[in-house]
Amino acid sequence: MNKVLTNPSLVAVLGVVSGLAVGLGWFWRAANVLVEHAIQALPVAVEVEGKSQGWDFWTIEIDGLSSELKEERARLRAQAETLNQRAARLASEQQELAKVRRDIENMRAEINRKVIEITADEMKNLRSLAQTYSNLTPRGAVAILREMDDTTAVKILSLMKSDTVGPIFEEMAKTTGPDGPLARRAATLSEKLRLMKATKSNS
């Protein structure tokens, strides 16, 4: 054993091996420290909203696009509500216009019913009758007119002079018929005669 330890070559080899072992130990320890620092320096993965949606990535561009889609959806929803309100308002206005149109048609029908017109083919005969009744006394004219319908009576009265029609209405107001005094019929004939003359003036 003493001979081995005193051998210079062996001692040199042992020294080299021992130095290598010490150097490797220091190197391994330093390497472990460097690896730990490197691991700590790595960015920590952040769990973002995209992960919960099944995506493996989530970028600023995608986030911006998502915001734009949400804003567009809200805008379209507001626009749809505005259009619905406008449609409801138009429907209400159409109903109101339809009601006004019906009222006008009813008024026109009522006017046409009340207004009496003389056709050209009956004008000659009516003028002859008007001349004949104008020569009668008011009582005699009333006795004949009370047997006529309102339309024929008004046509004849319209062709008579006003100073002749006045006494006839006065006599009619004092006369009593089967249904009572003729004053109400005199008022009806007078109103129809007025409408007829007003129509002639406007035409």
pLDDT, one tens digit per residue, over 130-181 is: 999 999 999 999 999 888 898 889 999 999 998 999 999 999 888 887 767 7
Judgement on whether residues 99 and 124 belong to the same structural domain of the protein: no
Q: 71 with 29, same domain?
A: no
Q: Are residues 188 and 139 in the same domain?
A: yes
Q: Are residues 30 and 67 in the same domain?
A: no
Q: Which two tokens stand for residue 82?
A: 């505005």
- Phi, psi dihedrals of residue 116, rounded to the nearest 5°: -110, 135
Instruction: Indicate if 29 and 67 belong to the same structural domain.
Output: no
Q: Tell whether the model's pLDDT for residue 129 goes beyond 60.
A: yes
Q: How confident is the model at residue 119 (pLDDT cuts 50, 70, 90)?
A: confident
Q: What is the pLDDT of residues 64-94, one digit of tens each?
A: 788 888 888 889 999 998 999 989 888 888 8
150 neighbors 188 (Cβ within 8 angstroms): yes
Q: For residue 48, what pLDDT is reported?
A: 46
Q: Which of 59, 89, 114 is the last residue of a domain?
A: 114
43 or 71, greater pLDDT: 71
The secondary structure of residue 176, as a DSSP letter, is E
Q: In this structure, are 142 and 198 located in the same domain?
A: yes
* Same domain? 131 vs 184: yes
Mean pLDDT of the chain: 76
Sign of CA dihedral 178, 184, 187, 191: negative
Q: How many domains does the chain have?
A: 3
Residues 6 or more apart whose Cβ sits within 8 Å of residue 128: none
Task: Count other Cβ atoms within 10 Å, centred on residue 180.
Answer: 9
Containing domain of residue 34, as a range?
2-41
- 92 and 34 together in one domain: no
- Partners of residue 177 on adjacent β-strands: 180
- End residue of a domain, out of 90, 114, 138: 114
154 and 169 in one domain? yes
d(CA 196, CA 117): 7
Distance CA 143, CA 176 (A): 11
- Residue 181 — φ and ψ, nearest 5°? -60, 150
Of 114, 130, 147, which residue is a domain's last? Answer: 114
Beta-bridge mates of residue 9? none
Are 138 and 187 found together in one domain?
yes
Side chain identity, residue 94:
Q
The pTM score is 0.42
Considering the domain architecture, whether residues 130 and 178 belong to the same structural domain is answered as yes
Q: What is the DSSP letter of 177?
A: E
